[in-house]
Amino acid sequence: MSDQPSFSRLRSYLWPIRGSELRKFLPLVLMAFFIGFNYNILRNMKDALLITAESSGAEVLPFIKVWGIVPAALLMTFIYSRLNNKLRRDRVFQVMVAIFLGFFALFTFVIFPIRDLLHPHQLADHLQTVLPAGFKGLIAMFRYWTYSSFYIMSELWSSTILSMLFWGFANEVTKLAEAKRFYGLIAMGLNLAAITSGVVSVFLTGEWLRGVFSICENPWHNSIVLLTSVVLLSGLAILGIYRYLTNSVFVGEEHADSVASKKTAKIKLSMRESFAYLGRSKYLISIAVIVLSYNVVINLLEVIWKDSVRELYPNPNNYNAYMSQITMITGAISLFASLFLSGQLIRKMGWTFTALVTPVVLLLTSVGFFTFFFGGNALMGMVTVLGTSPLALVVFFGAAQNCLSRAAKFTLFDSTKEMAFIPLTVEAKLKGKTVIDGVGSRLGKSGGSLIHQTLLIVFTTISASAHIVAGILLAVGIFWIAAVMRLGKQFNALTQKDPAMPATPAPATTEETEVVEAEEEVALTP
């Protein structure tokens, strides 16, 4: 029997799954859903916890992303490698998930109640008197080291549990023919997880719920207990589903024609070799500029926007509820775009037009954001007519920028980027993709954080350095658009020579994008 089922056109688009495959497919989707659900709950919690703390703010983000998350990610990778060498695959999964769930339980029920005893406020106050004001974020990261630990573990949930464990497991047990049909629906499941997590988070942090169900006197502590309890229950569901799959469906067996069995060994290049290889191809340089530009822009904008959100919502419960609403909206837009927009745009408007949507959306929404950020008082008349405040409009345009740009990234940006590799030779495709996804994305993320760190040291506050950030964003946006135009000409020239192009890659979610980057990460040596 052929591995390709015969479905009607509508079913092949919406539900290309055989009845006999439901025993495997549904648990995988549910498992991905719960992992994505936890990711979104934790992502909003960690921001609300650290950013809204007294003497803290969005200034802490550039410091913790470089000096906290990067070392912790290396440590977690080392732990995973050691466990992988000593334990069975199923035990590794269980132990890694247990490490995270154990930490979140320990933080919520033991550490957070005695946080004032653990935080070195006196030493941090002294450091504030001897260090420049621009080091406020670094001091806050040290002052609230327990919050920083929670932030880091929450951030690592996606790269470790989803990228390394779930997708590694899925690739081992899913046949190539099945993956073409399964993975798009799993991506939709992750978008649904984002929507659901937003609804649940808003519900659990609502004032009316605290009025009828209160565990702790502190409202934020009450919300943390409720949200963490949901995360722990979701984690137990993940472990239960995994146990069912390994003991009843797959029985530890790997398909000979699975996705994992077809993967090529990772390429190890030094930093110098990576840039030297890119330098030999204008085509690859253009792709690298596009990937680098997105990560620089989104990281620069995010810090300024979250600083404004903190000013508008200084209460952690309100901050968390607002960010949960943004997560919900982003998931809904991404789901709609992946179903009805991305494929249609590429087919009807072409690669170049589709690839330009993301930078254009980012630039246009950024114009609205910075217009009210810098000129709120000058526009007071219009603001008064709208019945709001300049700060609320700044946050609104920042939210619009965040929702639309991330939705565009997960659907249009990732699809066009993956398509750009298709016309290349096997060697250029393999090495170029490894270097760009490994170096380009991480260099962009770290670069954005390092830019903010430098500006904070010079200008001391985020608002004081915002005009420099705006200028950098404009320059990067122009380079990004120019790179897309240049790459579009080269892409069209190559594809006209070979009209038999493969199908458009499936759109990705937030989590799925990180998976691609993690699986193809280049191993850099000094």
Would you put residue 389 in left (φ > 0), alpha (ψ -120 to 50) or beta?
beta
User: Residue 222: inside a domain, yes or no?
Assistant: yes
E strand spans, 43-96: none
Q: What is the CATH number of the domain that holds 133?
A: 1.20.1250
Q: What are phi and psi of 376, to 5 degrees?
A: -60, -45
Amino acid 131 reads L
- Name the average pLDDT for the chain: 83
pLDDT for 227 beyond 70: yes
What is the per-residue pLDDT for 33?
Answer: 95
pLDDT for 431 beyond 80: no
Nearest CA to 27 out of 331, 247, 294, 199 is that of 247
- Count of C-beta atoms within a 10 Å radius of residue 425: 9
What is the per-residue pLDDT for 379?
Answer: 65
Distances (CA, A) of 449 to 128, 184, 243, 404: 21, 32, 40, 22
User: Which pair of tokens denotes residue 15?
Assistant: 């539900």
DSSP alpha helix (H) spans, 87-114: 89-106
pLDDT for 518 beyond 70: no
pLDDT for 305 beyond 60: yes
What is the per-residue pLDDT for 247?
Answer: 87
What is the per-residue pLDDT for 412?
Answer: 82
**How far is 360 from 478, CA to CA, in rounded Å?**
10
User: Residue 366: inside a domain, yes or no?
Assistant: no
Query: With bands split at pLDDT 50, 70 and 90, how would you rate the model's confidence at 523?
Result: very low
Ranges 45-54, 240-249, 303-312, 406-415: which has the least confidence: 406-415
Q: What are phi and psi of 87, to 5 degrees?
A: -120, 160
What is the per-residue pLDDT for 10?
Answer: 66
Mean pLDDT on 189-217? 85
Query: With bands split at pLDDT 50, 70 and 90, how would you rate the model's confidence at 267?
Result: low
User: Residue 98: inside a domain, yes or no?
Assistant: yes
E strand spans, 366-505: none
Please give the torsion angle defined by the CA atoms of residues 272, 273, 279 and 281, in that order, rounded to the nearest 10 degrees.
Answer: -160
pLDDT for 157 beyond 90: yes
User: Residue 307: inside a domain, yes or no?
Assistant: no
Query: What is residue 258's three-state secondary structure?
Result: strand
- Count of C-beta atoms within a 10 Å radius of residue 394: 25
In the block, tokens 């023919």 appear at 177
Contact 136, 67 (CB under 8 A): no
| pLDDT tens for each residue of 117-152 | 999 999 999 999 999 999 999 999 999 999 999 999
What is the per-residue pLDDT for 259?
Answer: 52
pLDDT for 329 beyond 60: yes
Mean pLDDT on 48-70? 93
Mean pLDDT on 333-355? 81
pLDDT for 286 beyond 80: yes
User: Residue 126: inside a domain, yes or no?
Assistant: yes
Query: With bands split at pLDDT 50, 70 and 90, how would you rate the model's confidence at 407?
Result: confident
Cα torsion angle, 189, 194, 198, 201, sign: positive
pLDDT for 273 beyond 80: no
pLDDT for 517 beyond 50: no
In the block, tokens 């040291």 appear at 457
Contact 148, 64 (CB under 8 A): yes
Residue range of the domain that includes 162: 21-263
- Count of C-beta atoms within a 10 Å radius of residue 341: 19
Q: What are phi and psi of 509, to 5 degrees?
A: -100, 180
Nearest CA to 375 out of 397, 390, 395, 358 is that of 390
pLDDT for 113 beyond 90: yes
* CB burial of residue 221 (10 Å; 0-12, 13-18, 19+): middle
More confident position, 299 or 20:
299
DSSP string of 417-457? HHHHHTTS-HHHHHHHHHHIIIIIHHHHHHHHHHHHHHHHH
User: Residue 497: inside a domain, yes or no?
Assistant: no
pLDDT for 202 beyond 80: yes
Ranges 32-36, 97-101, 175-179, 205-209: which has the least confidence: 175-179
**How far is 407 from 508, CA to CA, in rounded Å?**
9
- End-to-end CA gap in the chain: 51
Record the pTM. 0.86
User: Which pair of tokens denotes residue 263?
Assistant: 């993967």
User: Residue 82: inside a domain, yes or no?
Assistant: yes
E strand spans, 211-369: none
Number of compact structural domains in the chain:
1
Mean pLDDT on 171-185? 75
Please give the torsion angle defined by the CA atoms of residues 485, 488, 493 and 496, in that order, rounded to the nearest 10 degrees.
Answer: -140
pLDDT for 279 beyond 60: yes
Q: Could you give the percent of the chain with pLDDT greater than 70? A: 82
The angle at the Cα of 100, spanning 98 to 102, to the nearest 5 degrees, equals 65
What is the per-residue pLDDT for 6?
Answer: 66
Contact 140, 55 (CB under 8 A): yes
Nearest CA to 413 out of 364, 351, 475 is that of 351
- Count of C-beta atoms within a 10 Å radius of residue 354: 27
What is the per-residue pLDDT for 516?
Answer: 42
User: Residue 148: inside a domain, yes or no?
Assistant: yes
pLDDT for 367 beyond 70: yes
What is the per-residue pLDDT for 13?
Answer: 65
Q: Could you give the percent of the chain with pLDDT greater than 90? A: 44
